[in-house]
Amino acid sequence: MTYVVIDNCINCKYTDCVEVCPVDCFYEGENTLVIHPDECIDCGVCEPECPADAIRPDTEPGMESWVEMNRKYSELWPVITQKKDPMPEAEKYDGETGKLEKYFSENPGEGDG
């Protein structure tokens, strides 16, 4: 099992989760985060830390496409291990549906760089 970031992270990008991750398996895109499924040790400490409720175990129904998306972008984007400010309008976008289709950016974030 692994944990994955789902679409509610998009345009919110709270980073509370990255500080508690013991294996540094979060990667930063321009407007979202992803978890590398092969690096995640299934400890679960990140899930309750997410204010947007955007982290799920891959055992939930319908998570297959999220596992693949997290895998793809974790191999392209830089690692992030330190908390940053969320996106400027995070509260506005938190809970909005259809964010993957409307807002997702394939561009990398800054990471810890």
Residue-range domain boundaries for the chain: 3-84
What value does the mean pLDDT take over residues 11-27? 98
Rounded distance between C-alpha atoms, residue 32 and residue 109, angstroms: 8
Q: Express as a percent the part of the chain with pLDDT over 90.
A: 97
Looking at the structure, give the CATH architecture of the domain made up of residues 3-84.
Answer: 2-Layer Sandwich (3.30)
Six token digits for residue 34: 């992803």
The three-state DSSP-derived secondary structure of 3-18 is: EEECHHHCCCCCCHHH
Q: What was the pLDDT predicted at 53?
A: 97
Predicted TM-score (pTM) of the model is 0.96
DSSP 76: T
pLDDT one-digit tens code per residue, 26-71:
999 999 999 999 999 999 999 999 999 999 999 999 999 999 999 9
Q: What is the pLDDT of residue 6?
A: 98
Q: pLDDT at position 9, please?
A: 98
Measured CA to CA in angstroms, residue 89 lies from 13, 14, 95 at distances of 10, 11, 12
pLDDT attached to residue 61: 97
Q: What is the pLDDT of residue 58?
A: 97
Question: What percent of the chain shows pLDDT beyond 70?
Answer: 99
Helix (H), strand (E) at residue 64: helix 64-74
Q: Average pLDDT of 68-88?
A: 97
